[in-house]
Structure 1
């Protein structure tokens, strides 16, 4: 037969307290509910389990046998409750964040500072993350929030993951500060990609979404970019531009202002990437995720306002 652990636990408590009313109080049930549960147990086992008397309740031999197992059930239930309380307390303070480099440098730190002021006891960890790995880290439960960049249509997400838009990040052209186009184009005035058709390029490595964006946009403007140097890093690309190795297409968030370089916006085509946060769809157990999301949105809005006030190259 299928044994009901709740019945075993009830018998253990009746034995411990010597009263159905006291056992009901321990289980946070009404005496009537306990009486009904005991009646079901005696029907199921087809033997009397409890003797009721003026001085309380005692167990029959069959009831005492089941109560011995019920003590194990009760101990396990108490331990489960204690363990769950510890876990929920830990999860309520836990925040595991992953972010790609530019976001880890410019978006995450201000949000973390604000979080520390609000929740000084927060248990926060941050890891450097390639955008393409963000979804996998969230799906596997290794991160609570991942800040990722997307250069094209966002892929469909599984039902248990949510996407949160944060920032529209324009792409800008980084040039040596003595480049003829930089000299001839006042700061704040954008360039057309076609004006750079004859330039040597410092490009992101082939196969990366940022490189695909450059190649596609250049093709639409009627040329193939002559890429002389390839790198996986916008920082390295800007350093190479500063060394006079060519021009580069860099996200505005990733601009470092390396000496010897300047930048201009793009009038046509207006390229950009989208910066998003990925989280589990249900963040009930990790409430700091929603708090941190709000802080990231605040930082992103401040960044956008600054860009609006200061055009690229201005």
Structure 2
């Protein structure tokens, strides 16, 4: 379907892109149609129309599976950013049209933002500041789609279309059940966890991927689909595995049936402020400067 002839202008329909992203994430037309609340034949027609608009094949499909082509994978990546930017445009326009001074600040679990918020409102008594708790999956997406003006994020984070300003770093700890073989130790190395099951995205603990002599598991159990800290800790308490968290997060979620052991040979967790690279606005930049001063010595 690819056409390498003379380039032409294409007005991309955001609705078609939204439909395509649903199919790309589900890799199943039936589930995507249910998620979008539309009929499957309608969805199929919209995807074909998008392929015709772009003059590339986005998906390969047979009776048993649906897969992205290389072009489809590229469009998926670009579409996610484009849809987020469109959502942010709308939210920012509505905010300005409302005529109210307002700032929304996102934050990851374990990070307290009160001091920076109070410092800004002290300078601007009429300013309304809202806060929004984010997660590992959407900490920078919330910035791109306009849900927040800026956000306290934990690295590594998706850097696309955002500016990042380092604030502070902190040690990381392993969270274990009270009866675990390593419970009670003052500190451990990451290799001490080699035989454990990690209940989080390995990207959050890059050192995990490089563990030496990690014993193979002949009957690996699937890692539960967990998103929140609370869910992860429930599984740890239920003897399903372990997690490695920033110290502030682990302390915030202290439980009597769990313990925390410092992991001394991995990089500390880095906290940054993230805001949109597209015209962030003076209040956003002022807040970033205040936060940098307040957190200069750590959380």
Bucket of the pairwise TM-score, normalised by the shorter protein: 0.5 to 0.7
Is 1:149 matched up with 2:165? no
User: Corresponding residue for 1:124?
Assistant: 129
* CA distances 1:104-152 after superposition (whole Å, capped 9, x unpaired): x52323322333344332122222334554545444555321222223x
Query: CA contact under 8 A between 1:203 and 1:227: conserved in structure 2?
Result: no
Aligned pair in 2 of structure 1 residues 234, 122: CA closer, same or farther (>3 Å)? same
TM-score (norm 2): 0.53
Query: CA contact under 8 A between 2:136 and 2:227: conserved in structure 1?
Result: no
TM alignment of 1:253-292, pairs within 5 A: 253-255=248-250, 256-268=253-265, 270-281=266-277, 286-292=281-287
Is 1:216 matched up with 2:221? no
Distance 1:134 1:246 in 2: 24
Distance 1:288 1:280 in 2: 13
TM-score (norm 1): 0.51
Aligned length: 200
User: Corresponding residue for 1:239?
Assistant: 234
Aligned pair in 2 of structure 1 residues 240, 88: CA closer, same or farther (>3 Å)? closer
Q: Extract unaligned runs of 5+ from structure 1.
A: 1-86, 305-314
107-116 vs 134-143, which deviates more? 134-143
Query: CA contact under 8 A between 1:202 and 1:240: conserved in structure 2?
Result: no
Bigger fraction of residues in strand: 1
Query: CA contact under 8 A between 2:171 and 2:247: conserved in structure 1?
Result: yes
User: Corresponding residue for 1:38?
Assistant: none
User: Corresponding residue for 2:114?
Assistant: 109
Distance 1:249 1:140 in 2: 29
CA RMSD for the aligned pairs? 3.6
Larger radius of gyration: 1
User: Corresponding residue for 2:194?
Assistant: 197
Aligned pair in 2 of structure 1 residues 238, 297: CA closer, same or farther (>3 Å)? farther
Q: Extract unaligned runs of 5+ from structure 2.
A: 1-95
Aligned pair in 2 of structure 1 residues 258, 224: CA closer, same or farther (>3 Å)? farther
Aligned pair in 2 of structure 1 residues 209, 263: CA closer, same or farther (>3 Å)? same
